[in-house]
Chain A
Amino acid sequence: MSKPQFVYVTYIETTPEKLWQALTSSEFTQAYWFGAEVRSDWKVGSAFALTLDGEITDSGEILEADPPRRLSYSFKHQKYEELRGEPISRVVFTIEPFGSLVRLTVLHDGFIEGGKYLGAVSNGWPAILSGLKSLLETGKVLAIPRAALNKGFDA
């Protein structure tokens, strides 16, 4: 396996169970993931899909599911023509108690070096994870314009 392209870490004032729920329930993801919904039964081998306004943007498979500790899925972009040729990538979420906080690590690999999708995704994650943190800690997310997500496509 080639080395991961990026690894993000954030500390959140919450419980592992609530964080797991926030990663796997559309009710939560819609609030912090630019309105996207996650669809899966979260069992290893099951299908995974990310949808926006009812349309599938990315799809893949659940690779690991150990609630509330570790979740991993593969995904491949479906919506934009110019990103469809990019290879399947993998994301791994690791949830660990850290004192009174929870440490969330997001690791991503499988992108083409310099590929368009890596640019698009690495632009998106910091905003998504900041939104997730503020949603769990304060119940609110700063409204991030969806355009911020698309910025990476032409970067």
Chain B
Amino acid sequence: MSAMDEVFKALADASRRSLLDRLHAENGQTLNELCEGLEMTRQAVTKHLAILEDANLITTIRHGREKLHYLNPLPIHQIGERWIRKFERSKLAALSELKRQLEKRDE
């Protein structure tokens, strides 16, 4: 399986995407912190994290006695580079911002 296949496979799961969302909200969390308030078992979280790490979507480091998990956005960035042409970039950024602002107002 190619590196990109692994990325798409890892992303094709709502639980794994929610783990990425949690790291996006707060980077550098321990397994315990990541499990807090989740419906998933600790075992399931561990399994999902291993799949995300194999796809290089997260990375872990030892910090003192703790193992911390970090979101690694590079594979997603590279997917963007592959299909988004450079002249589209600023227009897409403007559209994303417009969407964000409009949806914020609806809350």
Interface residues of A (CB under 8 A from B): 3-11, 105, 107, 126-127, 129-130, 133-134, 142-145, 147-148, 151
Contact = CB atoms under 8 A, between A and B. Distances in A.
A4 B28 contact: yes
Nearest to A5: B27
Given A3-B63, A105-B59, A145-B90, A130 B68 contact: no
Contact of B28 (A3, A105, A127, A148): A3
Contacts of B3: 11
B74 A129 contact: yes
A126 B28 CA distance: 17
A143 B74 contact: no
Contact of B59 (A7, A147, A148): A7
A71 to B, nearest CB: 17
A71 B73 CA distance: 22
A126 B74 contact: yes
Contacts of A129: 74
Contacts of B90: 145, 147
Contact of A142 (B61, B73, B86): B86
A89 B77 CA distance: 24
Contact of B81 (A8, A105, A142): A142
B27 A6 contact: yes
B56 A11 contact: yes
Nearest to B74: A10
A22 B63 CA distance: 28
